[in-house]
Amino acid sequence: MQIVACPGCGAQVEFKSHAAVVAVCAFCRTTVMKDADAVRDLGKMSAVLEDFSRIQIGSAGVQGGRGFTVVGRIQLKYAAGIWNEWFLLFDDGSNGWLGDSSGLYTVTTELAASATLPDFDAITPGRCYDINGERFTAAEKRRASCIGGQGELPFKVGDGWQARVVDLRQGGAFITLDYSDGERPQLYKGVSVTLEQMACQLLRDDEQIRATAGKYRGRVEALDCPSCGSAIHYLPGVTTSLVCPSCQAQLDAAGPQAQILASGASVEQVRTALPLGASATVNKVVWRVIGAMTRRDNEGSSWTEYLLYNTTGGFFWLVDSEQGWRRSSVMATWPQWPSLEADHVELDQASYSKLFDYPATVTWAAGAFNWRVAAGDVVQVYEFQRGQAALAAELSADELTWSRSTPVALDQLRAWFGAALRGDVARKAVAPAGTRLASRFALWILGLNAIPLLFNFSGTIFWVVLAIVAIYLSEHLFGAEGS
């Protein structure tokens, strides 16, 4: 450890990691740079936006059998939102990074590249690339700016520092190609993790988070829409992309003042089955609806998606469609998908068959989201199913994500939300599409076989008609179950 005096205020600044080049003074925000036997003042570093992350400087854990301590942090903003990169010092003296984005975590360490790597502009999300002899799928391509930092960092960084990064995945394995310093990228490799898997200690608790989230903005969890003045509830630093429920203005809340990105379109107000702010108690944990949006496919079918958040549990989605309600979560471990054209994917040694491939367009949105969303946004959706479980890939020009969903009975929703679930709006649960299709096919076959029997006045026709009625009723009763 090296301790120096801050050239800005004289306070002690610690360099725990030998790899650290700069450190941000905790008292006056001066960026201190080690320069041989002296230190230099690089100017003030913007304070990070205190968000809902449970990690903080000093948090510790274990990854890959090695203990680590969080010693630094940079906060980056890109077109769709913000994320944190935490600088780690391992007990053996090596270092790495803990990526923290919307409750998903990855730990990576720098790795020497053994072969030519693709150019930044040549990479397309959803396509596969050979990296060090392994096949990875491009997940996200970002151009980002540093908006704040704290603690120790391994390179000179300040306001306006630009990052160009590409994230690639293979199952639970994770690779980042960092093109920030030139055309030849630095290669970082690691895995997707959870805070529980890393046995993290010294994390912020709920009380600390509530007390500090959005601190430099001077308000917590609410702001007035600068377009119409309506109050908007959100999560500072996590859900920085807002859509005003009253005027549909698109807002960016990643800075000290909320900025209007686009004026709201004149659209009819949507009455949803779950209002913004509704709370659900799931396994004794309280979740809150913070955002909602409607989507439509190319055949005119529409559905509503609700974003729920809990400080320790992160995010999950509830989807209300003609096929019933489903609970969906973004996947950290991806299935094996040979190409965009493949009709099967493999996950945990199980095969999922492709059902649909269609564009999904946002038609309305309101509330807070952990990425930027607006009416008119389009993604290509690929759906795969195995039994009751479904996987969905959503592909845009800059990102590919995977989610897993399972059915939720309407009675279960009522138990979670109570009176907050609007019974006059909630769709009735219906049978899965495969069940409905099968029953209709059976009706068609029985109808064909019944034609000759219509001219046979034996008792056989009675049983055929009874079977047809039974199938018809079972389909409609299935559709009305739980209503």
Average confidence (pLDDT) per 10 residues, the chain, 483 residues: 61 59 60 50 51 86 95 85 90 93 89 87 94 92 86 74 91 93 90 93 80 46 60 57 67 52 48 89 91 93 93 88 94 92 94 96 86 87 96 95 95 94 64 40 48 50 56 47 39
Tokens at residue 438, please?
Answer: 């099968």
Tokens at residue 368, please?
Answer: 């807070």
Query: Which helix (H) or strand (E) is 446 found in, with range?
Result: helix 433-453
Provide the pLDDT for residue 366.
84
Provide the pLDDT for residue 110.
93
Residue 449 three-state SS: helix
Provide the pLDDT for residue 220.
36
Provide the pLDDT for residue 102.
76
Give the number of other Cβ atoms within 10 Å of residue 15's Cβ: 19
Q: What angle do CA 132, 103, 48 make, to 5 degrees?
A: 95
Provide the pLDDT for residue 477.
46
Provide the pLDDT for residue 156.
73
Residue identified by tokens 């809902």 is: 52
- CA-CA distances (angstroms) from residue 206 to 53, 219, 310, 325? 10, 17, 10, 30
Buried b (16+ CB within 10 A) or exposed e, 160-182: ebebbbbbbbbbebbbbbbbbee
Provide the pLDDT for residue 33.
52
Provide the pLDDT for residue 2.
57
Dihedral pair phi/psi, residue 301, rounded to 5°: -75, 140
